[in-house]
Structure 1
């Protein structure tokens, strides 16, 4: 698996750097150093160094990452040529690889290994694989999950991996499986009573236990030969942990305050002679005592709340649950690798399902603010529990790099400079049963000026592309900050190459943008019950003749209460939609274009046919939008958006576009639903709608939305107001260029009006090149745009 292979290989390089001082920049250099080892001590030492790597999944689930990590470590040892038996003798004639997340062992003839108990070499290989797996599981792999069933499944999967290489001892019995449950634990990874910097030294001084004894007890438990020994070791382990808890908690401020207040009370009562007090002095003394007693009682209540708080029922104490990541004097060192596909849960879901935990998160985690996601907190946890030279990786929603809700999280990432590499899957779905678009984010505590980035095209062979280091481009934090500044939002705009960044800078040489040239870009009507308003038909004198879309009865509805209506799918670039769909519009328009709901009596008198339909469907009207329209004007739309100032020239765009923009010029006063957006030029605009229609349908705007907008199914993008407004526009353009664009746009519109299926790509390409020229794009920059 890519994540495991990438991070563990880097962790292996780092371990050899830490232990041996070998500062190799890549894995090949390490291979050249260790593959030729022939001395037993050198081979065993190299194995011990790799076996000292600690790997944790704080949301372990069924254990997929840990199983992958187990196999990858074996594969890495084989690749380095140091995989050996317990005596230090290499497995030279066999290779261990990972294929489709399964361990594959082959001989020098590329034949699959098969265990033959009576064959000495086969026995040696099988024993080696079993003992290697056992060592890695016991020393390298750690997992936590809040779901006890997931924990059981994870333990079972690791046992199964061992069973695959179970071997027969000389007595003919299978080797006993170890107790691997000690490293896979149940608890809420995000909640702990004790912080990672809690002073364990004091706890060690005040108990008869040591970290070494703790580690020894766990090792004995793992290799217990019978239930009695296992139970004895479990009791000892729990005794040690409880002693740590009892001593550490004394360092908590509420306990310190209680000691202080009780000491002050003792001092207060011992240093005075109450029998010598007069009445006033006695009253003052009693008030001081009562106040101090009150403070003590308050602290005791705080302690009781702390000790009995239900959110700590599933708390997981990272501070001492895994002694393998503690130094001999009890300092928390952290894990070398943290891998996870953390749960994605929005703030609304957290509030509904974990109200008490939500309060805890928001007091303990920097990223638990505003509209945060649980995955953000898991990222922060991973940073906190990993070692100083860690190599971590998460499968992560890539929406966190550009959504406004994740602004605080991006600031956290920028401040810590944690990101090392992003493999961005774009619109490619990695998990068949998920609807979240993801990336693999590799991160560490080693601050850097930027990170490597690759975005995989839709339906591309991303499994191959992600392994090609040449495909990654380096993005500096300076580039991110500069692009965000130009864009006007705290958003990480991630470029596929440096040419893309330079192009982005260049188009922002234009002094204007869509938000300054257009009065507004707005959604259409939200009726909450389209089927009782929409009418398919044609004009027949003063009526529209046809039928409501869910009603087969033919009707004639008064033209004055009907408006032409345009659905999103009918908005096709440069097209001229037909007037064959209408919406019943129970509003009057003022001279300014503002829509005011009609009185029922007016509809009954002036539009009797329409009124007859409204009365027929009155019950449905009163129920729509959760009965919010069950009032005097029961026939009104659910919301008033999209009804004002519609009847004028405008551009209209399909909200969600897949491969290119779909924008039309509307001279026919079409109304439309929320899946269509209308663009209204400022009244003092010097440029024409045809000119802006060309820009709206341009490849340049599409490229801009691809790199700045949210990813949707099929790699589609939204033409929403907040995505469109930042697009830069020329402040002015010559009349000659504008006329040239207008002529070509009108040519395309005319052709499509006569034949909607006609191919106008050649003319549209000419329009694109005029726009490229307006923005001053070079050939290389045009290539960047058109490759999208």
Structure 2
């Protein structure tokens, strides 16, 4: 193999190269993990399944991930001199890089020997033992670093030992992994293979010398969305898009082939294949693979993969060219009983998980600068006027990442605070900072920088993650950042903890009063024995807290210089954990009770009652402390709480383990910093899980818990990140978070930022929407907020503003939040949610059925979608659709040709569940009867594509099925068209709608129902009619859709023709007419080409005019709403302005029986 040696690490070449190389390396590491799982799975089958006895498939995959990260860490540590790479004995017996070099040379000289030998695998296992438990020899010394990552007892089956065995007591016979397999794994980690070519001559050797810990984290995170399962039958690993390669059962492929090769091609290439995770490629690509000959090399590999089972080879051979190769260029075949790797859950393979160093640095800088400087950004914007705080104050700060992952943002916090600490030392004249001003080539290697980072790491940095492996990776990231060569990996065990930070308690008072609501706990009518004020149990709880706290304070006071200091700290930490164990168990009981009752109508009362049931168990546990009964009492509590905590956990989801903030970090929540108990700042990049996906991913009871206890009962389909924001306000005094841009939209904003601001927090800096760095398509927001006063500058999207509201817009003058207006209700609707493209057909197919039997006209209609509205010059339906309304199955069967189509194409997709979609598979999921009833009397209605950059209305006929991607308005006049086409309404859409990436999403309840319509005006009607006529003619004559037309309207660079100029003028006239209709003729709209948030350059009013228009519309919303309240229109039982419509016209979309 030829490799291009590089003097610098490929991982740090440039921003663009860095992202590409890190992504590609992440892919190769995942392929290496797959190869290792395949190797140990084959060995397990060869040994009759004995090595995996009692081992779950997930543990097999986790062991492979652990081995990958061990190797990555060893490479980084060796190249940075953190392990004794210069020692000849270490090089010969333990080093990873020299192992790869020797294996590579042998692969040239004698590859057959490597196929039959397993010594390299044994060496990797021995190196893990050496790093974990140390080596003490006259000629080689390695400290015992400990930690879970290298613990030989974590996955004893890798060493051929029983699950409950200990490596120091029990010998083993390691699962055989050949030297060629190990070489392939090491090549994947040390040699970059560009995706574009894959040629050997283009491979490049990697150096880990200057790798950022963020990049190590990304490599790890690329492994998280895969897992291992057992093959119930022969499974084939097929080709596909990188990271999305499917694994499909051989019987499934054979069954589809029986239907014909064309059916198999479609099954592996169409849009349904992509959704189902079985897409191999395009139709042409799959057809070419299936029809191509099987070469001898592939056939030989297939025979080997099938273990010479000729019958199986014959079965697989028709699909052989679909098989993807592993890292050793062998076709991937999983025999029955094999454990294999497959993608699970939502993907993060696009790079969205990769928190770059630059992004992490930005998050912590703006979160921590106000804590490090006084005056600082909270006082004045000019950095020249900032003054660094005393070094003691900086070391007293407490910062936490509640979803720490592999530690990227926590590492950035450590670096930032260390730099500020050195700055403070310099201001104080401390000699330690004297030599940093003239730092040499690598300032991160200076002793003072290392010392500052170590002090900050031990005193200031905390992290939480529900994934125990992520916690270990975060600890190792901090270990590397602090160059803690002679310290164990466990030196931050007290600060980086495993657990779900959204499930646990956040106050010791919750523990003392045995309730998530301290107020309800105090008001309990029947006190729980010992838990009344001053009771024995409360005194016992306080005693344990204080004892643990004293030990933590003593631990933090020890300056770590010698190995003895490290051991003393570990001893104190262990003793404090013993004191806190009982408190953790009590809090688990409380969390389990809260989780199991959160869905009740009154969760506070329900929890009170549930705790009374559990109280005897809690009292027994407290009384058993320091007695022989303590162990059994702890086990009884464990058994009970595990049932409560996991009762609603979805299959495949991890076991729930609450993180109880004050118990895990007593030094933060009792002593706290100079500002009081709790963290000074919470920083992080919480998981991006949409509001509709929380229940599926975590369970209904979990979501109910978030609503009841984190969101104070505020309901809504909020993204998970909103609850991280709310939780941060419970445990800290400031925050800096990355989030999806939906944090400022819809329910997520109302549940999250709105409540935070209502609690007195202030958003002082934000980026409302920006693309994720790298090749991801996700749009994110950046938010920094504080509970402290803020006299400095507020910065939104890089420009100063007077303040920032809950939707990450500048504060309005009125401070009012929009309300729904009664007069607008019942006029806007989302179209029908069909759920099944099998309902649709071409117009020609529909006409054939109607010609055959005119009755089919009763169930066949044109079908207009959002793309049709925006892309068709005539804005007419290109498809027709079957509609069985809300009929029973018997009535639908009266139209047999249509019913058979739906039964064949839709029913299989709907499944066999008990939900409405499955039970009423012949109907639309959401028919929208009320919409069709409302619009039936009208000859035309207005429609807007729900998700689109255009967001402008068009007239369509109501005599058709209108799809869910359309927002329909029961309005048919030119005045209404003019108002909804105006820049006033468009700005309201951008302000109060949501978004999908950068495309605005029109939400009728948030946009139209809150929009204060102007009084009827003839000028608006006339201008709207003229614009509609001009635009419609232009679209038809040029064959352009709505999107194409407005691309020309908004193109500031091109030379517009007369028709486009005329259209712009008509928009200006319309906007001015609408402005005047509101009675606001006193200010200029400033039409021109302007940058619009999230939309790029648009031909619209100026940003200043837009801000003014939005302020005035909000004030008008307030005025209208208050008038409606005064008129009693918002009293219970009052209905909105529902348009009246006649029934029973021919071709009615209400159904033929009405």
TM-score when normalising by structure 2: 0.46
1:658 corresponds to which of 942, 945, 948: 948
**Aligned with 1:56: secondary structure?**
strand
Residues in 2 aligned to 1:428 and 1:208: alpha-carbon distance in whole angstroms: 47
Write out per-residue CA displacement over residues 596-615 of structure 1, whole angstroms, 9 at most, x where no aligned residue. Answer: 99956975xxxxxxx54654
**Aligned with 2:962: secondary structure?**
coil
Kindly state the Cα deviation for residue 752 of structure 1 after the two structures are TM-superposed. Answer: 3.2
Q: Which moved more, 1:742-751 or 1:244-253?
A: 244-253
1:765 aligns with 2:1079: no
Q: Which residue of 2 aligns with 1:528?
A: 835
TM-score when normalising by structure 1: 0.65
Higher RCO, 1 vs 2 (CA within 8 Å, ≥6 residues apart): 1
Q: Which residue of 2 aligns with 1:786?
A: 1101
Write out per-residue CA displacement over residues 569-622 of structure 1, whole angstroms, 9 at most, x where no aligned residue. Answer: 2213995335764334568xxxxxx9999956975xxxxxxx546546644465
Write out per-residue CA displacement over residues 261-297 of structure 1, whole angstroms, 9 at most, x where no aligned residue. Answer: xxxxxxxxxxxxxxxxxxxxxxxxxxxxxxxxxx999
Residues in 2 aligned to 1:625 and 1:80: alpha-carbon distance in whole angstroms: 64
**Aligned with 1:338: secondary structure?**
strand
1:429 aligns with 2:776: no
1:275-314 matches, cutoff 5 A:
299-303=615-619, 308=637, 309-310=641-642, 311=645, 314=658
2:988 corresponds to which of 704, 728, 736: 704
Alpha-carbon contact 2:403-2:686 (below 8 Å) kept: yes
Query: Measured at CA, do residues 654 and 72 of structure 1 come closer, stay the same or move farther in structure 2, by a change above 3 Å?
Result: same
Kindly state the Cα deviation for residue 149 of structure 1 after the two structures are TM-superposed. Answer: 0.9
Alpha-carbon contact 1:62-1:154 (below 8 Å) kept: yes
Residues in 1 aligned to 2:378 and 2:1067: alpha-carbon distance in whole angstroms: 51
**Aligned with 1:537: secondary structure?**
helix
Query: Measured at CA, do residues 625 and 364 of structure 1 come closer, stay the same or move farther in structure 2, by a change above 3 Å?
Result: closer
2:783 corresponds to which of 429, 435, 441: 441
Alpha-carbon contact 2:884-2:922 (below 8 Å) kept: yes
Write out per-residue CA displacement over residues 743-780 of structure 1, whole angstroms, 9 at most, x where no aligned residue. Answer: 44324323433433387433332332233223235225
Q: Which residue of 2 aligns with 1:195?
A: 507
Alpha-carbon contact 2:941-2:955 (below 8 Å) kept: yes
Write out per-residue CA displacement over residues 535-567 of structure 1, whole angstroms, 9 at most, x where no aligned residue. Answer: 2339xxxx936x99xxxxx99988844433333
Q: Which structure's CA Rg is the greater one?
A: 1
Q: Which residue of 1 aligns with 2:746?
A: 403
Write out per-residue CA displacement over residues 194-220 of structure 1, whole angstroms, 9 at most, x where no aligned residue. Answer: 834578998777999585554224554
Q: Which residue of 2 aligns with 1:370?
A: 715
Residues in 2 aligned to 1:678 and 1:179: alpha-carbon distance in whole angstroms: 61
Q: Give the structure with the larger strand fraction.
A: 1
Q: Which residue of 1 aligns with 2:477?
A: 157
2:694 corresponds to which of 343, 349, 352: 349
2:928 corresponds to which of 632, 637, 641: 641
Kindly state the Cα deviation for residue 182 of structure 1 after the two structures are TM-superposed. Answer: 3.2
Alpha-carbon contact 1:58-1:145 (below 8 Å) kept: yes
Kindly state the Cα deviation for residue 704 of structure 1 after the two structures are TM-superposed. Answer: 1.3
1:745 aligns with 2:1028: yes
Write out per-residue CA displacement over residues 461-508 of structure 1, whole angstroms, 9 at most, x where no aligned residue. Answer: xxxx4xxxxx031237xxx6xxxxxxxxxxx4543586xx69x99xx9
Query: Measured at CA, do residues 650 and 424 of structure 1 come closer, stay the same or move farther in structure 2, by a change above 3 Å?
Result: farther
Kindly state the Cα deviation for residue 63 of structure 1 after the two structures are TM-superposed. Answer: 1.0
Query: Measured at CA, do residues 558 and 544 of structure 1 come closer, stay the same or move farther in structure 2, by a change above 3 Å?
Result: farther
Alpha-carbon contact 2:868-2:877 (below 8 Å) kept: no
Alpha-carbon contact 2:835-2:925 (below 8 Å) kept: yes
1:178-189 matches, cutoff 5 A:
179-189=491-501
**Aligned with 1:215: secondary structure?**
helix
Residues in 1 aligned to 2:880 and 2:837: alpha-carbon distance in whole angstroms: 11
Alpha-carbon contact 1:571-1:652 (below 8 Å) kept: no
Residues in 1 aligned to 2:907 and 2:994: alpha-carbon distance in whole angstroms: 36
Q: Which residue of 2 aligns with 1:487?
A: none
Query: Measured at CA, do residues 316 and 652 of structure 1 come closer, stay the same or move farther in structure 2, by a change above 3 Å?
Result: same
Residues in 2 aligned to 1:677 and 1:657: alpha-carbon distance in whole angstroms: 9
Q: Which residue of 1 aligns with 2:409?
A: 65
1:725 aligns with 2:1024: no
Alpha-carbon contact 1:514-1:729 (below 8 Å) kept: no
1:81-120 matches, cutoff 5 A:
82=426, 87-88=431-432, 90-91=434-435, 93-94=437-438, 107=440, 112-113=441-442
Q: Which residue of 2 aligns with 1:475?
A: 803
1:7 aligns with 2:340: no
Residues in 2 aligned to 1:83 and 1:673: alpha-carbon distance in whole angstroms: 66
**Aligned with 1:711: secondary structure?**
strand
1:612-627 matches, cutoff 5 A:
612=897, 614-615=899-900, 618-620=903-905, 623=908, 625-626=910-911
Q: Which moved more, 1:135-144 or 1:715-724?
A: 715-724
Kindly state the Cα deviation for residue 11 of structure 1 after the two structures are TM-superposed. Answer: 0.6
1:416 corresponds to which of 759, 762, 766: 759
Kindly state the Cα deviation for residue 374 of structure 1 after the two structures are TM-superposed. Answer: 4.5
Residues in 2 aligned to 1:746 and 1:493: alpha-carbon distance in whole angstroms: 36
Kindly state the Cα deviation for residue 87 of structure 1 after the two structures are TM-superposed. Answer: 3.9
1:565 aligns with 2:863: yes
Kindly state the Cα deviation for residue 134 of structure 1 after the two structures are TM-superposed. Answer: 1.5
Alpha-carbon contact 1:524-1:673 (below 8 Å) kept: yes
**Aligned with 2:1101: secondary structure?**
helix
Q: Which residue of 2 aligns with 1:544?
A: 847
Alpha-carbon contact 2:687-2:720 (below 8 Å) kept: yes
1:381 aligns with 2:723: no
Write out per-residue CA displacement over residues 216-260 of structure 1, whole angstroms, 9 at most, x where no aligned residue. Answer: 24554955615xx75665444333454467699999999xxxxxx
**Aligned with 2:847: secondary structure?**
strand
Unaligned runs of 5+ in 1: 35-44, 95-105, 116-124, 167-173, 255-294, 456-464, 466-470, 481-491, 549-553, 588-593, 604-610, 682-687
Query: Measured at CA, do residues 515 and 652 of structure 1 come closer, stay the same or move farther in structure 2, by a change above 3 Å?
Result: farther
